[in-house]
Structure 1
Amino acid sequence: MAKTNAQRQSDYRARHLKDLDGQAERLNLLVNLHAKRALERLAACYAVTQREVLEGLLREADRAALERAARVQNGENDYYEKRLRLDKESVTQ
């Protein structure tokens, strides 16, 4: 019996999208064309994968948010509980 598209896709993912340390989660999203091109340029510039660029940028943004959260009463706890709200502009400054 022939496989369905979903079965073929599942088999492909099982073969090619291995998470060696068991710590990865899949993201499936659309980004603005300019953001995608910037991601490509950054990866090429630093000779790393696009995943490494994204992970590094997210770690840096997380660190910056935690620094700001530390200045607010219960800020760190609220940050980890997803209750803290900071100005959007602060993410990239």
Structure 2
Amino acid sequence: MALTTAQRQAAYRARRATAGESGNGDRRLDMWVSTEAELALARLARRYVVIRRQMLERLSTRADDAIVRRLDPDSPQWDAHFGSE
């Protein structure tokens, strides 16, 4: 029996939780940003020949990596950054 559109959509959304090479899944972001930020994201994505999603992922993970590299894993700053307090 063929699945309905709603059933296919529900199955797709359920698979997103474990999607990707790592199996760590994807998270949905639904937000409004300023026109300035969206245009900047679009320009950066165009410059680096990636989609906006990839550009946003690249920007956020690189910024986070730069912070984490400077933190001592046994410090209160580490705990604060990762929300362990």
- TM category (shorter chain) comes to 0.5 to 0.7
Query: Counterpart of 1:90?
Result: none
TM-score (norm 1): 0.60
Query: Counterpart of 2:41?
Result: 39
- CA deviation digits over 1:36-58, x for unaligned, max 9? 00111111111111010010111
TM-score (norm 2): 0.65
| C-alpha RMSD of matched pairs (Å) | 3.0
Gaps of 5+ in 1: 1-7, 84-93
* Pair 1:27 & 2:24 matched: no
Residues 1:51 and 1:65: Cα distance change in structure 2 (over 3 Å): same
* Superposed structure 1 runs of 4+ greater than 4 Å apart: 15-18
User: Comparing both chains, which one has the higher relative contact order based on Cα–Cα distances under 8 Å and sequence gaps of 6 or more?
Assistant: 1
Residues 1:53 and 1:76: Cα distance change in structure 2 (over 3 Å): same
Query: Counterpart of 1:63?
Result: 65
Q: Secondary structure at the match of 1:69?
A: coil
Q: Percent identity?
A: 29
Indicate conservation of the 8 Å contact 1:69/1:79, yes or no: no
Query: How many angstroms does 1:72 deviate by?
Result: 8.2
